[in-house]
Amino acid sequence: MKDMNYKNLAINNSRDTSLRELAGPLFRRKGLLITTFLSIFAIVILAGVVVPPSYKSQMAVLVNRERVDPLVTTEGTTQMNSNAANPVTVEEINSEAELILSQDVLKKVVIETGLNHRQSSLGWLFPKKSEDEKVESAVKALAKQLKIKNATNSNMIDVSYSSSDPQLSYAVLNSLGKFYVDKHVEVHRPPGSFQFFANETQKYHDALQNSELNLKNFSRNEGVAAPDVERTDLAVTIAASIGQLHTAEQAVAADEERIRNDEAHIKQTPHRVSTQEASSPADKLLEELGASLLAAQTKRSQLALKYEPSHPLVQEADQEIDQTEAAISEAEKTRYVTQDTDVDPTYELLREDLVKTGADLAAQRAAAAASKRSIENMQTEMVKLDQKALTQQDLLREEKANEDNYLLYLGKREQERTSDALDSTRIANVAIAVPPAIPVLPVYSIRMVILVAFGLATLMSIGLAYTFDYFDSSFHTPAQVIDMMGIPVVIAVSKKTA
């Protein structure tokens, strides 16, 4: 009955493995566990210290059709490609990845970064190589060290490179991105388009300068800057001069008629006219005759006192009185007339008008003759201006055509220049989305090395302890004795080392 209880107890213990039984091999192989742990930990730490740290630089290439290159034509309007809306395929992404690893691109990277001159630590074991062999070896090593992968369901290509020199890691990826873009440009873009438009632009630039020089020489040699404008102004002047000529001819005809009219009126008009006339009696004569009559009467009266009326003296006095009275009667009938004359104003006006009209006629005739000569000269000059205008229009058309062609090819050249400039970062469907940077921290830090050493030492020491315990043929637990030999165990004593 007691044996049965021991047996049942051993079976239950064998089935219900405790944590102590599970950790038993570790305690039994404690020395091996500690020795292995310390050894592996020390080896990994030593390797982490001795081996130079590795610095990894990364860049990302985006494959996408965000920019579409226009078709290269000489037309003024830009034609765009029609396949811009097509999504990027996996084959295109893989093609770009293979283009990154192309031999000519890697060779340029190796030469620029000097990877062909970097000797490995085991280089002394191998014979010396030529420069080409060094370059080829460096290209193969670079192709193996470059890590290129494409994330699932994305258009990104991740490129990474690790080395012990952070500057070298950055330089390799920087050169790789530059030469890869150049290679992509060379593969996908038509060669020589920019140079063609640059040559055409220079040609029409020279032609435009020549046309402008011809225009300057034309203006300098012909002495006219705008023959069309001068011809228009001259036509207006000629029309005005013709009007003035007609006015002068009309004035000449009017003056001639006026002169004839003035001459006819002058012949009929007297030179002088009476301006004032006055009449008066002979008062002074009457006074003298009255005095003579009074003297004669006084004399007769005196004679009558002395002589008879028949006396000759008295008769003589009477006769004198009669003559005086007759003279007085005659004097009373006589009147004196006073008349003033002056130049006739009508005659004078006609004479002045005739002189003035003659002077005006001479002036009008001279003006008419001068207008005729001026009109003839201006008409001759207008014909010359017509010829000069035609010549200038030919020069202007030539200059305009050269300018249009120059501007057209200049725009095309700048368009190609812009495309080439954009190609350095984004050509059709490729862009360096994440440019490389100089790594600051190594890939594995001291803390990570310690953690890796601790984890690796722990796993290997525990695994080695369980392995040695597994291959050990001795019994370690009462359950093993019961299972293997079927003998009940009363008491178990642990093995003591001497």
Predicted confidence band of residue 16 (pLDDT cuts 50, 70, 90): very low
Of 430, 391, 410, nearest to 217 by C-alpha is 391
- The model's pLDDT over 324-335, given as tens digits with 9 standing for 90+, comes to 888 878 777 776
Alpha carbons 177 and 486: distance in angstroms, whole number: 74
Q: Which CATH number applies to 54-189+428-443? A: 3.30.1890
The per-residue pLDDT for 2 is 40
**Residue 3 confidence (pLDDT) above 80:** no
Map tokens 């051993």 to a residue. Answer: 10
Of 158, 159, 133, 132, nearest to 145 by C-alpha is 159
- Mean pLDDT (the chain, rounded): 76
Over range 189-218, report the average pLDDT: 81
In the chain, what are the domain boundaries? 1-52+446-498, 54-189+428-443, 272-343
Q: Report CA dihedral (138, 144, 146, 152) to the nearest 10 degrees.
A: 160
Share of the chain above pLDDT 70, in %: 73
Kindly report the pTM of this predicted structure.
0.42
- The model's pLDDT over 444-465, given as tens digits with 9 standing for 90+, comes to 666 776 777 788 878 887 887 7
Query: Taking a C-beta distance cutoff of 8 angstroms, is the pair 86, 65 a contact?
Result: yes
**Residue 120 confidence (pLDDT) above 60:** no
Of 173, 168, 164, nearest to 100 by C-alpha is 173
Alpha carbons 139 and 158: distance in angstroms, whole number: 20
Predicted confidence band of residue 186 (pLDDT cuts 50, 70, 90): confident
Predicted confidence band of residue 1 (pLDDT cuts 50, 70, 90): very low
Tokens of 258: 């006026």
Maximum alpha-carbon separation in the chain: 257
Handedness of CA 262, 268, 273, 277 (dihedral sign): negative
Burial class (CB in 10 A: 0-12, 13-18, 19+), 54: middle
The per-residue pLDDT for 326 is 84
